[in-house]
C-alpha cells in the first residue's frame, strides 16, 4: 500500500472513530472532526513537535483545539497515538471518563487547555505564544535554544465570531507573534445554519489588517495544507492564519455541508452510508486497521526523538549555564525563590494609603526576586498600579521587559493570562477596574475551572470610586466573583493586609486569586502583635477584641470598611459594649479553615452581628445569621466625592452604631445598656 493510501486510511479512521463515538454516546459534534480530519492529521503527524506518550515536556509545540465541540478530533488522534484506549473512546461524554464532551485540561493527557466556550482557546494560544517568546529571549543562549516551539490552534467560524478573538488577534498582530499558527476550519456552517445568515465579513482581509499572514487552502488537500504550514513557519514576523476551506461531515451522503451534522449524531443509517461512501467496513464499530496503528507507532519514533534530543540539549545547557537552568527549572515547576518574602515592604500604622498603591509597592519590591513575574493592565497600569517601574514594556521587536500593555481588551487579557499560565515558566498577573471584571468573567471562570495560578488585580473596588459615577462603581461584582468556584477573592483592609494578600496569591498554585483594592486612601491599621500574613491566609481574624473576652456583638467587615468598623468599635467599647471586630478579607479562605478556628472567630453564641461592606448584602447572611444585619449597597451608585457617597449610603460611624444597638436589642444581649 502506498504512502498516500496509508495516510488516507489514517484520516478516515479519525472520521469513523468520531462517528461511532458520537453515535454511541447519542450526543456530540461529528461534523467538525470529519471535516478537519485531513488538515489536523497533517499537522499532528508531520509538523507537531510533541511526544503524545510524554505530553508535558516543556519545549513541545502546543496544539489547542479552540473549537472544543470537535473534541473527538483530538481524542481520535490521541487514541491512534497510544494515549487513549478504545474503551475510553467508547466512554465519550460519560461520567468520569477521560473523553469528556469538550476537552478538559488536567483530565485528558495531551489536552493543553479546556475549550468549549468559543474564542477562549484562540486567546489562550496568544498567551502561550507570548510566554514562549518571552522565555526564549530571557533563557536561550548561543547554541542552546532551550525554549523554541510553535503554538498551533484549530479554530472555527464560531471562534472568529466571538468578540474575544478580535481582541486577541489584534494584540497578537501588534506584537508580531510569528510562531503562532492557526488553522481555521472554514466550513461555512454553524448551529443555526449557513454562516452567511450572520457572518459575511472578509475574514482574510480582517486578519491581514490585524497584521497576520493569511494563507488559503483546500482543507482536504493534504499537500496544500502541508505547504501552507511550512510557509507559516517561515514567517517569524507575523502570526499566521491558514484558512482551510472544508466540508463539515465530509463523506456523509446526506449530511455533509448541513447544520444537521454540527451538534447531533448522524444516525445509525447515515453512519452506515458514510462508511460505505468512505470505503470503510460498516462493522464492527470503532474499527481501525492495523496498518493505521502501525503508521502511528512509526511516527512515535520521530516524536520521541524530538523530546530526547531536547532533553540532551537541556542537560548540556545545565552544565554550561547552571544558574539560568536552575532558574528555568524552578519557573517550570512553579517554585518561588527562597527568601523572596524578605523584600515585602512594611507600612507605618496611622498613615494613609490606597490599597491599590500598596499593591503597586509590593509588586515593585518583589519584582527583582521573582524574575518570571510578568503582567500588566488593560490600559490602566497607572490606575491599577500594576507597572513594574524597573522594566520596559513588551514590544514587537523587544521582549526583554516584563510589562504587557494589553490595551482596552479585558476579555482577551484574562484568557491570555490563562494561556501564559498554561504554557508554564511564567507567573502572570493582570489588572483592570473591578467593574470591568464583567468583561473578563468567562476567562476568570476558565482559570478557576482549570485551577490556574493566575492573579487578577481589580482596583476601584466600590462606590467610593466617587465622581466617576455608577457606570464605574461596582456594586454586585464582589458577590459575582465570590460565586465562581475555586476563585479566591481577597479584599484587604489596608496596606499591611495587601502585602499579605500578595503573599497568599503567589503561594497559591491550585487556582486563581482576585485581589480587590481601593482607589481611595485608607488608614494603615495598627495590627499590634497579630501576624497579619497568617491572619489573612485564614480569610478572617479577630482584629479588635472585646475587653472581657466574651463578646456581645461582632462587627465584620472587609476592605475599606474595616477602618469604619474599628472607629465604631471604639465608640461601642466606650459605651461599655463587649464588642469585637473581625476583618474578613476572604470568604473562600475562611471557609477552608477548621471548624474550631471558625468558631473562635465567630462564636455561635453571639447572635448580635453586623457586617459592613460597600456591595450587595447577598451572601453575608451566612456570617451574620438570622438576627444580624448588613450595612450594604443595594442599588447603583451616584456621581459625587467619595466622602459624600459614604454619608449618603450610610457608611458612617453613627449608622453603624444605630445598626449595632438595634441587633443588640433584638437579640437581648446580656448586660448591654442601650444608649437613649
What span, in angstroms and rounded, lies between the C-alpha atoms of 625 and 633? 19
Q: How far is CA 324 from CA 143, 328, 369, in A?
A: 14, 6, 14
> In the structure grid, which three cell numbers stand for residue 492, read together?
484587604
User: Is 410 annotated in the active site?
Assistant: yes
Q: Which of 7, 104, 167, 410 is catalytic?
A: 410
Contact at 8 Å (CB) between 520 and 466? Answer: yes
Q: CA 432, 437, 438, 439: dihedral to nearest 10 degrees?
A: 50
**What does the angle CA 124 – CA 127 – CA 129 come to, to the nearest 5 degrees?**
110
What span, in angstroms and rounded, lies between the C-alpha atoms of 364 and 342? 13
Contact at 8 Å (CB) between 447 and 417? Answer: yes
Calculate the CA 463 to chain-centre distance: 27
User: Which among 552, 588, 555 is positioned nearest to 543, based on CA atoms?
Assistant: 555
**Is the previous residue joined to 284 through a cis bond, with omega within 30 degrees of 0?**
yes
Enumerate residues 6+ apart whose C-beta is below 8 A from 80: 10, 13, 14, 288, 292, 293, 296
Handedness of CA 85, 90, 96, 98 (dihedral sign): positive
Residues in the chain: 676
Enumerate residues 6+ apart whose C-beta is below 8 A from 400: 137, 138, 392
What span, in angstroms and rounded, lies between the C-alpha atoms of 533 and 535? 5
What is the DSSP code string of 435-488? GGHHHHHHHHHHHHHTT---EEEEES-SGGG-TT-GGG--SSHHHHHHTSTT-E
What span, in angstroms and rounded, lies between the C-alpha atoms of 621 and 327? 47
CA-based max dimension of the chain:
99
The Cβ of residue 54 has, within 10 Å, a number of other Cβ atoms equal to 14
Q: Are strands 62-65 and 629-631 parallel, antiparallel or unpaired?
A: unpaired
**What does the angle CA 35 – CA 41 – CA 46 come to, to the nearest 5 degrees?**
150
What span, in angstroms and rounded, lies between the C-alpha atoms of 590 and 592? 5
Residues with catalytic roles: 410
Amino acid at each position: 500500500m502506498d504512502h498516500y493510501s496509508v495516510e488516507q486510511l489514517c484520516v478516515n479512521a479519525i472520521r469513523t472513530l468520531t462517528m461511532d463515538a458520537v453515535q454511541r454516546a447519542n450526543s456530540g459534534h461529528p461534523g467538525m472532526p470529519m471535516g478537519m480530519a485531513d488538515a489536523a492529521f497533517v499537522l499532528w503527524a508531520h509538523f507537531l513537535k510533541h511526544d503524545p506518550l510524554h505530553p508535558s515536556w516543556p519545549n513541545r509545540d502546543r496544539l489547542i483545539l479552540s473549537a472544543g465541540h470537535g473534541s473527538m478530533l483530538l481524542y481520535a488522534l490521541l487514541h491512534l497515538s497510544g494515549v487513549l484506549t478504545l474503551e475510553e473512546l467508547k466512554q465519550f461524554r460519560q461520567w468520569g471518563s477521560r473523553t469528556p464532551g469538550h476537552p478538559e485540561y488536567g483530565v485528558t493527557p495531551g489536552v493543553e487547555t479546556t475549550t468549549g466556550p468559543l474564542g477562549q482557546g484562540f486567546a489562550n494560544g496568544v498567551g502561550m505564544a507570548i510566554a514562549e517568546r518571552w522565555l526564549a529571549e530571557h533563557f536561550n543562549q548561543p547554541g542552546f535554544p532551550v525554549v523554541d516551539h510553535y503554538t498551533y490552534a484549530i479554530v472555527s467560524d464560531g471562534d472568529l465570531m466571538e468578540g474575544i478573538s478580535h481582541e486577541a488577534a489584534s494584540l497578537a498582530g501588534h506584537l508580531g507573534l510569528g510562531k503562532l499558527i492557526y488553522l481555521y476550519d472554514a466550513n461555512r456552517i454553524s448551529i443555526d445554519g449557513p454562516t452567511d445568515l450572520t457572518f459575511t465579513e472578509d475574514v482574510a482581509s480582517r486578519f491581514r489588517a490585524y497584521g497576520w499572514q493569511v494563507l488559503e487552502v483546500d482543507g482536504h488537500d493534504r499537500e496544500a495544507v502541508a505547504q501552507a504550514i511550512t510557509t507559516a513557519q517561515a514567517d517569524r514576523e507575523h502570526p499566521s492564519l491558514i484558512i482551510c476551506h472544508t466540508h463539515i461531515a465530509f463523506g456523509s451522503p446526506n449530511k455533509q455541508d448541513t447544520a444537521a451534522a454540527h451538534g447531533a449524531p448522524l444516525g445509525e443509517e447515515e453512519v452506515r452510508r458514510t462508511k460505505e461512501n468512505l470505503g470503510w467496513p460498516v462493522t464492527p464499530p470503532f474499527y481501525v486497521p492495523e496498518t493505521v496503528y502501525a503508521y502511528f507507532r512509526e511516527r512515535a519514533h520521530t516524536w520521541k526523538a524530538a523530546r530526547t534530543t531536547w532533553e540532551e540539549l537541556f542537560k548540556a545547557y545545565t552544565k554550561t549555564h547552571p544558574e539560568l537552568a536552575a532558574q528555568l527549572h524552578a519557573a517550570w515547576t512553579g517554585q518561588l525563590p527562597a527568601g523572596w518574602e524578605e523584600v515585602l515592604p512594611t507600612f507605618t500604622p496611622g498613615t494613609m494609603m490606597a490599597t491599590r498603591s500598596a499593591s503597586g509597592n509590593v509588586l515593585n519590591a518583589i519584582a527583582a526576586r521573582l524574575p518570571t513575574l510578568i503582567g500588566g493592565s488593560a490600559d490602566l497600569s497607572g490606575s491599577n498600579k500594576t507597572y513594574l517601574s524597573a522594566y520596559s514594556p513588551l514590544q514587537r521587536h523587544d521582549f526583554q521587559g516584563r510589562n504587557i500593555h494589553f490595551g482596552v481588551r479585558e476579555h482577551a487579557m484574562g484568557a491570555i493570562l490563562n494561556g501564559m499560565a498554561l504554557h508554564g515558566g511564567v507567573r502572570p498577573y493582570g489588572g483592570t477596574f473591578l467593574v470591568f471584571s464583567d468583561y473578563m468573567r468567562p476567562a476568570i471562570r476558565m482559570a478557576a475551572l482549570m485551577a490556574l495560578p493566575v492573579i487578577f488585580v481589580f482596583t476601584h473596588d466600590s462606590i467610593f470610586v466617587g465622581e466617576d459615577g455608577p457606570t464605574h462603581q461596582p456594586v454586585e461584582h464582589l458577590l459575582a466573583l465570590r460565586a465562581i468556584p475555586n476563585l479566591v477573592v481577597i479584599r484587604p483592609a489596608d496596606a499591611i493586609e495587601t502585602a499579605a494578600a500578595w503573599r497568599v496569591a503567589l503561594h497559591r498554585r491550585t487556582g486563581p486569586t482576585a485581589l480587590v483594592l481601593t482607589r481611595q486612601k485608607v488608614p494603615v491599621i495598627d495590627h499590634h502583635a497579630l501576624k497579619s500574613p497568617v491572619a489573612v491566609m485564614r480569610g478572617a481574624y479577630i482584629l479588635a477584641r472585646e475587653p472581657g473576652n466574651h463578646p456581645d456583638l461582632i462587627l465584620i467587615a472587609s476592605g475599606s470598611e474595616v477602618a469604619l468598623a474599628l472607629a465604631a468599635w471604639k465608640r461601642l467599647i466606650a459605651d461599655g459594649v463587649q464588642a469585637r471586630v473581625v476583618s474578613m478579607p476572604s470568604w473562600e479562605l475562611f471557609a477552608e479553615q477548621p471548624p474550631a478556628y471558625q468558631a473562635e472567630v465567630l462564636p455561635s453564641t453571639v447572635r448580635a452581628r453586623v457586617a459592613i461592606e460597600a456591595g450587595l448584602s447577598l451572601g453575608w447572611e451566612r456570617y451574620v445569621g438570622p438576627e444580624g444585619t448588613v450595612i450594604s449597597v443595594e442599588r447603583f451608585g451616584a456621581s459625587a466625592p467619595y466622602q459624600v457617597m459614604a454619608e449618603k449610603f450610610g457608611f458612617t460611624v453613627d449608622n453603624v452604631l444605630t445598626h449595632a444597638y438595634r441587633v443588640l436589642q433584638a437579640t437581648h444581649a446580656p448586660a448591654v445598656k442601650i444608649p437613649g
